[in-house]
Amino acid sequence: MKYYDPEYDRIVDESVPKKQYEWFAAQRWFHKTYEEFLKDNFLNEDMSEIVGPT
């Protein structure tokens, strides 16, 4: 799966958000799930919002 990274204006594969999440998850103050992190920081490849489970 590919995502749009608005911070760097680029299309990335899933390894990029996973690697970023691993770093944040190691921080004591960070308490989001991977899905929440992904939705807050990335968009779908077509630049539409990521919709989480309902």
| Three-class secondary structure of residue 3 per DSSP | strand
Q: Provide the pLDDT for residue 48.
A: 85
Per-residue pLDDT of 1-54, as tens digits, reads 899 999 999 999 999 999 999 999 999 999 999 999 999 999 998 888 887 654
Predicted TM-score of the model (pTM): 0.82
Q: Provide the pLDDT for residue 54.
A: 44
Strands (E), 1-54: 2-5, 10-13, 43-44
The Cα 53–Cα 48 span in angstroms is 16
What pairs with residue 43 in β-bridges?
Answer: 4
Q: Provide the pLDDT for residue 17.
A: 98
